[in-house]
Amino acid sequence: MNNTTCQSINFDFPRRFLPPVFILVFIVGLVANGWGLKYLLHNWKKLGDINVFVLNLGLADILYLLTLPFLMVYYFKDSTWIFGDTFCKITRFCFNINLYGSIGFLTCISVYRYLAIVHPMRARGRLTVTHYVAISVMIWLLVSVQSLPDMFYTKTSENKTACYDTTHKTYVEDYLKYSLGWTLTGFCLPFLITLGCYGQVIVILCRRNTIDKVQRQRSLKLLLILIVLFSVCYIPYHVFKNLSLWSRVLSKQQVCYDWSNGVYIARQISRGLVCLNSALNPLVYLHGNEDITAQLRELLQRARQMFRRPLPTHSGSVPMNQITD
């Protein structure tokens, strides 16, 4: 620990790391969500009322994906924000809506699976599409209320060139308290509910031999997807976000630790990982598609055929051996 001077932080790392991640997530996310939503709408009756939650999950992803081009421009311009303070806040708000909306709807899907497998007779016929729509509206409202205070924190620097995903160092102490409460209500509680639901589901799947084999495989596959989402995307983000804020509070007080730079870099990596949820969430509504492997194979074959087609020749074309640049 050093109580007088603080180690310099590697602020260049996010400029090198985040833009390629944003580009990858934007392309894969749009394709995957478009494909997933198309499959969802074509198989609406077959998949059941859970589609309401899955549809909202896809809409939350698309809302965030549409803001990624602006963040790409931001980092390509050496972290210079050119779109104004208001749009900076809107961009960060969309990210939070996507993140905590995704966690909320994944929790609802977990509860739905729990009721369908653990209490099938009690749940059957009692919940209608209207109930699921009302629950979805409530999730959007809760997530908006949780995210709204973030809009009132300063998001840009004094010269209006930076767009912070948290806030300016002046308000970092208050923001840390807000972030800890937000983490508890927006992430920890839904995570515990999801763990509890799927813990019961696993017990029932192991004990009962009467459960359909296909339903059992789908439930286990969905559980694996959720484990990946929470382990890769959500847990590291919340851990390192709060650690980074705490490090900034200590740095402001001239109390510094050797691990501050490592925490900052880990925080930026976790920001890239949490963005992946918009590209990975479509697995939730594609996991029940038994034809997905065949469809992927057909898509790859079409792509190969398209690239193997000979280019048309024109009388005015330049021979390859005459191209110099």
Residue 275 lies inside a defined structural domain of this protein: yes
Domain assignment present for residue 297? The answer is no
Q: What angle do CA 48, 52, 57 make, to 5 degrees?
A: 125
Number of separate domains in the chain: 1
288 neighbors 218 (Cβ within 8 angstroms):
yes
Residue 306 pLDDT greater than 80, yes or no: no
Lowest mean pLDDT among 12-16, 137-141, 143-147: 12-16
> Looking at residue 318, what is its pLDDT?
36
The token duo for 223 is 């559980």
Tell the burial category of 248 from Cβ atoms under 10 Å away from its Cβ (0-12, 13-18, 19+): buried
Compute the CA torsion angle 35, 99, 222, 301 (nearest 10 deg).
30
First and final C-alpha spacing in the chain? 55
pLDDT at 44: 73
Q: Which candidate, 71, 139, 149, 152, places its Cα nearest to that of 102?
A: 139
Tokens of 109: 């899907």
Residue 255: pLDDT band with limits 50, 70, 90? confident
Is there a contact between 140 and 67 (Cβ–Cβ < 8 Å)? no
Nearest to 61, CA basis, from 303, 219, 286, 298:
286
CB 283 within 8 A of CB 225: yes
Q: Assign 322 a pLDDT band (cuts: 50, 70, 90).
A: very low
* Spatial CB neighbours of 223, under 8 Å, sequence gap ≥ 6: 198, 201, 202
Q: Domain with 199 in it: what CATH number?
A: 1.20.1070.10
Q: Flag whether 6 is in a domain.
A: no
Dist. CA 295–CA 291, nearest whole Å: 6
Residue 260 pLDDT grade (very low, low, confident, very high; cuts 50, 70, 90)? confident
| pLDDT value, residue 258 | 79
Q: 30-39 burial by CB neighbour count: b if 16+ within 10 A, else e? A: bebbebbbeb
Q: Is residue 67 part of a domain?
A: yes
Question: Does any domain span residue 37?
Answer: yes
Q: Give mean pLDDT, residues 223-248.
A: 92
Cβ neighbours for 41, distance < 8 A, ≥ 6 positions apart: none
Q: Would the pLDDT of 235 be above 80? A: yes
Statement: residue 214 has pLDDT above 90: no
Task: Round to whole Å and give the CA distance between 271 and 265.
Answer: 10
Domain with 264, as residue range(s), is: 13-286
Task: List Cα–Cα distances, 40 to 100, 129, 267, 286, in angstroms.
Answer: 22, 15, 34, 8
pLDDT at 216 over 80: no
Cα→Cα distances 74→6, 71, 79, 163, 171, Å:
27, 5, 5, 8, 23
Q: Which one is predicted more confidently, 314 or 186?
A: 186
Q: Which residues contact residue 289 at a Cβ distance below 8 angstroms, ignoring those fewer than 6 apart?
A: 39, 43, 295
Decide which of 85 and 36 is more confident. Answer: 85
pLDDT at residue 274, as a whole number: 95
Q: Is 22 in contact with 275 (CB distance < 8 Å)?
A: yes
Question: In this predicted structure, what is the pLDDT of residue 320?
Answer: 31
Neighbours of 20 (CB within 10 A): 12
Percent of the chain whose predicted confidence (pLDDT) is above 70:
81
Least confident of 31-45, 105-119, 182-196: 31-45
Residue 100 falls inside a structural domain: yes
What percent of the chain stands above pLDDT 90? 47
pLDDT band of 315, cuts 50, 70, 90? very low
CB-based burial, 180-203: b 16+ in 10 Å, e otherwise: eebbeebbeebbeebeebbeebee
Q: Report which residue type is found at 201.
A: V
Q: With respect to residue 312, please indicate whether it lies within any of the assigned structural domains.
A: no
**Domain assignment present for 293:** no
Task: Considering only residues 315 and 134, tell me which one the structure prediction assigns the higher pLDDT.
Answer: 134
Confidence band for 217, pLDDT divided at 50, 70 and 90: confident
In whole numbers, what is the pLDDT of the chain averaged over residues? 83
pTM: 0.84
- Tell me the average pLDDT across 164-183: 95
